[in-house]
Each structure stands twice: as structure tokens, then as C-alpha cells.
């Protein structure tokens, strides 16, 4: 068993995720040395909006599992906190923090490749002090500046170029972040219809090719800067899609919105998930 140099203090409460070898996203992870090197990269990530990997252990013998010790998040995921969607001010708070984390990752040559609502964990749900972190780096990949990836792992939040099996870069994370914004504002996911007999990936491609995201303009009361930025993030053209840094400089994040007000989230809402040590929605806290 290989272990990193532990940073755990005695008595520290952590979340633990176990990754079996068969669930590794990248075939290279069957090479224990490469996996340890990539985990070391994640171990050194430190950002306010990224769940901290505290320690890990990689088993060199059967069952070849990897154990991850992670910072605990107590309030659940974005869908659990915003189970009926969010208003524009709430959406902006979430998206700004996700983009801040993505800017940091991309500056460190890492593509997350699995940004979705279930992988955004809430630390503080109060509107005036809302605080969230991105998690689950199972599919993350280190890509040098200017390099493109072709082995993208499919999710309902993937961009068109990835669904087509074409080369993609860090801007695929921006597209996924745009879809998270769409989910927050619409109160439901933007996913292909389930009635089609076509394979899942073909349904995703057809769905993405047909979308113009007019839902952003129908009855949502979004400001023009909000609509403009999210529409740009959801561009099917990789070359025209903004970077995370570009997005953070957009007027949507500089235009004054109404004060979100004081915290109205009840203690019952925060604790409805029960004992955090027993919380497991199948996504883990990576």
C-alpha cells in the first residue's frame, strides 16, 4: 500500500471515498505510480472553493482500491439546498464561486471534466454568506497549456465537442458550469428526452445540436447580462466559448443585484440529511 505523507490531525472528521480499480475513469490509473502522481497533484490544490483532499492510500495488491480522505462538507449538494431552483442572485453566487475554482484549476493545467450540480457541495447555505466548493476529481485530468484532450468521460453536462468525441480543453468545464446555471434558473436539468431509442451519447449530441437555450429568456426574469453570459458559456463553438477568467470579468459579476438578504435557511433544512457521517448519495465527496 502506498500512502501520501499524512496531514491528518488526531480527531479530525473527514469524508472517505473508496475508488475500486474498475471505476477509475482513466485507463492510466491502472498504473499505480501514475495514479499516485496525479493524486499528489490534487493533494496540493488549495482553493477556497475546492474540497480539500487531505490524504490518500493506494493499494498495490488486490483489491487495488484507492482510499481518499477528504474535507467534510456538512450541508449537502446544490440540488439538496436548491431543490426548487434558485433566483438570479443565488445563481450568480454559486456560478461565481464555481468559476473561481475553475480558473484556479485551469491555471494549474487541470480540467475537472465532471462539473454538475451533484458535485457542488454547500458549506454555508445562508444567502448573505453563501459558500460552496466543487468536489469529485475522479475524472480530472492534467493537460498542459494548449493541449487538447480526446478521452473525455461522458456526463449529461458534457459539451458538444466532447459528446462528438472531438478534442476538448478547459472550456468544456465552462460549458458544464453554464449548464449548472441553467439548472439553477430553470429548476430542472437540461437533459435529452429519455424516450428516444438512440444510444445515450447520440441522444446527447442530438440534444446539444438542437438547443438555443431560449428557456433562459422565458419567464425567468433574468437580467440581460445574466442571459448573455450563460448563453456564451453554453456556446457549441469551443473557439467562441469564454474561459473561466473571461466569465469572471463579465458585467454580470459587476452589475449590482438586489441584496440577497439575511439567512432564511432553517436549521431543519441544514440538518435534514441526518448524521453527516452516514451521508452518501453515490457521488462521494471527492
Query: Bigger pLDDT: 20 or 220?
Result: 20
Task: Quote the pLDDT of residue 2.
Answer: 57
pLDDT per residue as tens digits for the range 119-134: 999 999 888 889 999 9
pLDDT per position as a tens digit, 45-91: 999 999 999 888 887 777 778 888 899 888 999 999 998 889 999 99
pLDDT at res. 193: 52
Confidence of residue 233 (pLDDT cuts 50, 70, 90): very high
Q: Which CATH class is domain 2-72?
A: alpha beta
Cell numbers describing residue 204 = 446527447
Give residue-wise pLDDT tens across range 257-276.
655 544 444 333 333 333 33
Name the fold adopted by 78-253. Transferase(Phosphotransferase); domain 1 (1.10.510)
pTM given for the model:
0.77
Give the pLDDT score at 241. 93
- Domain extents for the chain? 2-72, 78-253
Residue 24 burial (CB < 10 Å; 0-12/13-18/19+)? middle
- Structure confidence at residue 19 (pLDDT): 81
Q: Indicate the helix (H) or strand (E) that contains 111.
A: strand 110-111
pLDDT of residue 172: 92
Structural Rg of the chain based on CA atoms = 19
pLDDT at residue 278, rounded to an integer? 39
> Percent of the chain scored above 90 by pLDDT?
29
Q: Quick check: 153 pLDDT over 70?
A: no
Distances (CA, A) of 218 to 90, 186, 189: 18, 10, 16
| Closest by CA position to 75, among listed 119, 118, 124, 116 | 124
Amino acid at each position: 500500500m502506498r500512502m501520501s505523507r499524512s496531514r491528518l490531525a488526531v480527531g479530525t472528521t473527514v469524508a472517505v471515498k473508496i475508488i475500486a480499480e474498475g471505476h477509475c475513469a482513466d485507463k492510466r490509473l491502472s498504473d499505480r505510480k501514475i495514479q499516485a502522481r496525479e493524486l499528489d497533484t490534487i493533494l496540493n490544490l488549495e482553493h477556497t472553493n475546492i474540497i480539500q483532499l487531505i490524504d490518500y492510500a493506494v493499494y498495490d495488491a488486490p483489491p487495488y482500491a484507492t482510499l481518499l480522505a477528504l474535507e467534510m462538507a456538512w450541508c449537502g449538494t446544490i440540488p439538496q439546498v436548491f431543490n426548487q431552483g434558485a433566483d438570479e442572485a443565488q445563481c450568480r453566487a454559486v456560478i461565481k464561486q464555481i468559476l473561481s475554482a475553475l480558473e484556479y484549476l485551469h491555471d494549474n493545467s487541470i480540467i475537472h471534466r465532471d462539473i454538475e450540480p451533484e458535485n457542488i457541495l454547500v458549506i454555508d447555505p445562508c444567502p448573505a454568506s453563501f459558500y460552496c466548493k466543487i468536489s469529485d476529481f475522479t475524472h480530472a485530468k492534467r493537460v498542459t497549456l494548449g493541449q487538447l484532450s480526446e478521452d473525455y468521460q461522458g456526463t449529461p453536462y458534457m459539451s458538444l465537442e466532447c459528446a462528438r468525441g472531438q478534442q476538448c480543453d478547459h472550456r468544456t468545464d465552462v460549458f458544464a458550469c453554464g449548464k449548472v446555471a441553467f439548472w439553477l434558473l430553470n429548476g430542472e436539468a437540461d437533459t435529452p428526452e429519455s424516450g428516444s431509442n438512440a444510444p445515450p451519447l447520440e441522444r446527447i449530441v442530438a440534444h446539444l445540436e438542437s438547443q438555443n437555450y431560449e428557456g433562459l429568456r422565458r419567464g425567468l426574469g433574468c437580467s440581460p447580462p445574466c442571459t448573455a453570459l450563460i448563453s456564451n458559456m453554453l456556446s457549441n463553438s469551443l473557439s467562441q466559448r469564454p474561459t473561466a477568467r473571461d466569465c469572471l470579468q463579465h458585467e454580470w459579476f459587476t452589475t449590482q443585484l438586489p441584496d440577497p438578504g439575511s439567512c432564511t435557511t432553517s436549521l431543519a433544512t441544514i440538518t435534514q440529511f441526518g448524521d453527516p457521517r452516514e451521508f452518501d448519495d453515490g457521488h462521494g465527496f471527492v
